[in-house]
Amino acid sequence: MKVFFRLVKIYLASTFNFKNLKEQIKKKKKGQPGEKTSKLKAFGMIILFALLLVELLFFFGGAAYSLYTTAKALHNMNLLFEISAAIISVFTLLIGFMLTTSTYYIGDIEELFLSMPIKPRALFGAKFAANSVNGILTSVSFFAVLSIIYGIFEKPPFLFYVYALVCALAIPLPMIALCYFFNILIMRFTNFLKNKNLILTVNGIIGMGFAIGFNYILQSAKGTPDEILQTLASGTAALQDFDAYYPLVKFVGVALTQPVSLFGFFSLFGLLLASMVLPVCVIFFMSNMYAKSLIGFGEHRVKKLEAKHVSQYIEKKIKAAPLLYTCVKREFNMMNRTPIYLLNGPLSIIFLPILLIVIFSAKNNGLKMSSEIMQFIDTSSVFVITGLAAGILGSMTNIADTAVSRDAKFIPIIKSFPIDIKIFMYAKLIHAMIFAVFATIIIVGFAAVFFKLSILYIIFASLISLAFSAMLNLVGLFLDTAKPKLHWDNPVSAMKQNLNVMFVMFFNLIIMGIAIVVFFLSRNTYDWVLLIYFAGIPAAVFFVLLKPYGIFAENKIAKIEL
């Protein structure tokens, strides 16, 4: 057990950066110089986390209160907790598949563990426990808000809160186990293939498809929360079958509505047993498969060439090319070589739109909703909203705001080459903008079909999207160049422990809020005025900052010492 808990600590440290925080605290206690943090930065971080916490509580509170009032109107509180359990389960499946895939192999430390006398069950069990933390924290947060709202209106006994905590801890575990079940099967039985990173990327895409399909089944039951609860109350339609195939939600409903009864106790006991069956089976029976599937991830395969093929290889593969093209190509090669980078950002421009389209198309009143939207929003408004949505999505890839951090290990090598650092850094911006173009094509294309936009408005929406993406990506690149995360143990840390991602996300939300306010104040103006506001101004900001960024980046990279 001692080995297990040490492994859990290591995996948690690789995700949440506890190790660095602990070292900083120790240095301050001993009076040693640590990482310098200005008061302004510390204040900004406190404000950021406070706002994120308020936003999270507001979101959870709104959802929980809506579910409570609907269940109260139907005089069936079981449905309140059953729907809550179903929501957490689906959310854990959606996020858990991406998390378990992106952290399936976190670096050379995994192969170091394999060389040690560590039992595969301890190794895999520790990773399972560490990767369950995100789902458990989300579940506990949601049920905490739900319990407070339920407690204010219903005045339940103290045992209810204990049961709610136990339920929140248990609900995510089967879904995490299901994610690992499919991940391990795919990785183990494709072990003969040479490119494991490619298989892991494909695995993540398959997982997204599976999660979206599962969400489609749930969403197809009925359109609104009221209708879902009415469906469950009447005992007809798809969600009743969902209860039959996934009885955990029934256990949650009975346990939390009857906490002081013997039936409620046995329901909680049944929930614990049912939620532990799949995790225990996966850890017990698939640990060896998991350990074997890790073998070879860190290997660098070298293709041996015969003498007669060497000149042909040099002629085709090794040739002069423009520096900018070479640097952009390098960015793609570096990203594709490590699936963690690809799965933790760039694929969001595909995953999020598809998820929204699936949710929207699953509703029975989709056509009715489209006519209502068309009555509320005129065509001029549509191209602005479409452009803003695509622009924000194009800046959510985490490519620009982690560009320097992800390259930290190679900065000394890059500095030793006789190349123009400005071009090297501009290549990172181009890399981010290529994905922004993909986001523009997806969002604007969907809007063009759905809202029947004219060619002119398609062009306008695309210009707004690209202008906003360019400005936001440049700001993100500025931030990561100014304060990169240079020291990390594995590729996960460069993205998941990078505060720049959170700051850029918060900045994007502020800009989006300002843009929405400006839009509502000027929505009745001429199209060319809207185009100046939402495409001209962001584009002007981008071009004004572009050259200063090159100078700033060149000086900053020259000062970086690892």
- Give domain limits for the chain: 2-12+63-297, 326-559
Q: Can you give the pLDDT at residue 434?
A: 93
- Whole-angstrom distance, CA of residue 357 vs CA of residue 388: 17
The pLDDT tens digits for 284-308 are: 999 999 988 887 765 656 666 666 6
How far is the C-alpha of 111 from the C-alpha of 294, rounded, in Å?
A: 7
The first and second tokens of residue 2, run together, are 């001692």
pLDDT score recorded for residue 534: 93
pLDDT score at 372 = 52
Q: Among 511, 501, 502, 497, which Cα is nearest to 542's? A: 511
Give pLDDT, residue 233. 47
Neighbours of 87 (CB within 10 A): 19
- Residue whose C-alpha is closest to residue 215's, from 10, 359, 51: 359
* pLDDT confidence of residue 237: 45
pTM > 0.75: no
The enclosing H or E element of 449 equals helix 421-451
Interatomic CA distance for residues 534 and 528, integer angstroms: 10
Percent of all residues in the chain with a pLDDT value above 70, rounded to a whole number: 70
Q: Quote the tokens at residue 130.
A: 């560490």
pLDDT tens per residue across span 464-494? 999 999 999 999 999 999 988 887 766 666 7
Ranges of the chain with pLDDT below 50:
194, 221-225, 228-229, 231-240, 364-369, 376
pLDDT of residue 189: 75
User: What tokens were used for 222?
Assistant: 């009925």
Element (H, E) at 352: helix 348-362
